[in-house]
Amino acid sequence: SGILLPYDAYYLFKSIKQITDLPIEFHTHCTGGIGEMSVLKAIEAGIDIVDLAISPLSSGTSQPATESLASTLKDTERDPKLNLQSLNNIAEYFKSVMKKYEQNGTFNMKVLMTEPKTLLYQIPGGMLSNMLLQMKSLNASDKFEEVLAEVPRVRKELGYPPLVTPMSQMVGAQAVFNVISGGRYKIIPTEIKNYVRGMYGKPASPISYEIRNLIIGDEEVITVRPADLLGDGYEQLREKIGYLAQSEQDVLSYALFPQVAKDFLEKRNQNALVH
């Protein structure tokens, strides 16, 4: 997530490698300016796989640059033996892709900036990207610093959920709403309400009565395994998405991401997907 410090990465992966022969993969971000260092220390600890990005799409909330690490490891015992000229050719192609998305406003250059405050606020890189997009769509980019400070506060109040998908997006969205709506918890997404109801499992730390009452009132919190309350909805979903679904995978995509999947399947049906 971009907040694992280099020496913590070394000792963590060194310890894991001592107890398992399974291959270990490390995925991190460069938001806080430590991604490259953490990856290198992970490699020194014996990590098997690291996730990288071609240079025009690297750094910031993305991953370390592939070419840079390949050059760093060249002629060492961990040399990945990648063709640097081929990597440079790939990078040249994606420079034009980046320029296109930058010019049409799709890409926000802020995501490539180093923001050490993410280490203080413990905000993962992917979460930061989503927050930037959300705030831009709400014309509230000027309140970015306030939202950064609000994230750890919301996380504490919600019982310290792990900031991984989907919780990172949920906590981030609530922090944004708390800042821009003129009052904390004046706007509460359905996902946050369901989380407090217990639909995402038991929080790591108890949610106070005051916060719970603020979010769901006097509704009862479930104490059983949330999945046990679900019925068999596959056939219903398949019927609902209809002819747009050409496979079981399409139905499952629709179940997980209803609106996104439906938009995608409709465009595919119209041969309107952009490649």
Question: Within this chain, do residues 97 and 121 fall inside the same structural domain, yes or no?
Answer: no
Checking if the pLDDT of 158 tops 90, the result is yes
Q: Is residue 153 part of a domain?
A: yes
User: Among candidates 222, 131, 217, 220, which has minimal Cα distance to 180?
Assistant: 131
pLDDT of residue 153: 93
Rounded to two decimals, what is the model's pTM?
0.64
Q: Are residues 16 and 37 in the same domain?
A: yes
Q: Quick check: is 275 in a domain?
A: no
Same domain, 158 and 244: no
Which tops the pLDDT comparison, 181 or 128?
Answer: 181
Closest of 197, 225, 217, 206 to residue 158, by C-alpha: 206
The pLDDT of residue 87 is 95
Question: Which pLDDT value is given to residue 188?
Answer: 95
Q: What is the pLDDT of residue 46?
A: 96
214 shares its domain with 238: no
The DSSP secondary-structure symbol of 65 reads B
Rounded CA-CA distance 158/211 in Å is: 8
Q: Is residue 1 part of a domain?
A: no
Q: Which domain holds residue 265?
A: 231-269
- Cα distances (angstroms) measured from residue 219 to each of 51, 155, 186, 205, 215: 43, 21, 18, 19, 10
Residue 218 DSSP one-character state: T
Judge whether residue 121 has pLDDT over 80: no
Q: Are residues 133 and 198 in the same domain?
A: yes
Average pLDDT over residues 106-118: 76
**Residues 167, 193 within the same domain:** yes
Closest by CA to 219, choosing from 244, 195, 235, is 195
On whether the CB atoms of residues 100 and 110 are closer than 8 A, the answer is: no
Name the packing angle between helices 125-137 and 167-180 (round to 10°). 40
pLDDT of res. 274: 62
Give 106 or 260, the one with higher predicted confidence. 260
pLDDT tens profile 9-67: 999 999 999 999 999 999 999 988 999 999 999 999 999 999 999 999 998 888 999 99
**Domain end point (choices 106, 129, 146):** 106
- Among 36-50, 78-92, 93-107, 122-136, where is mean pLDDT lowest? 122-136
Residue 160 within a domain: yes
The verdict on 129 and 165 lying in the same domain is yes
- Indicate if the pLDDT at residue 275 is higher than 60: no
Q: Same domain, yes or no, for 148 and 212?
A: yes
- Count of residues making up the chain: 275
Q: Are residues 12 and 88 in the same domain?
A: yes
Specify if 38 maps to a domain: yes
**Does the residue 198 lie in any domain?**
yes
Residues 168-179: tens digit of each pLDDT: 889 988 999 999
Whether the Cβ atoms of residue 244 and residue 250 lie closer than 8 Å to each other: yes
pLDDT of residue 104: 80
CATH number at 102 reads 3.20.20.70
Same domain, 135 and 63: no
Query: 183 and 136, same structural domain?
Result: yes
The domain boundary, picked from 106, 137, 157, lies at 106
Cα 68 from Cα 50, distance rounded (Å):
13
Q: Residue 125 above 70 pLDDT? A: no
Task: Check residues 107 and 213 and name the one with the higher pLDDT.
Answer: 213
Span of 27-31, 208-212, 231-235, 243-247 with lowest mean pLDDT: 231-235
234 versus 51: the higher-pLDDT residue is 51
Higher-confidence position of 36 and 182: 36
Domain count, the chain: 3
Q: What is the CATH number for 120?
A: 1.10.472.90
Q: From 106, 135, 157, give the residue that closes a domain.
A: 106
Q: Answer whether residue 274 is part of any domain.
A: no
More confident residue, 47 or 182: 47
Average pLDDT estimate for 175-196: 93
Instruction: Identify the three-state secondary structure at position 50.
Output: strand
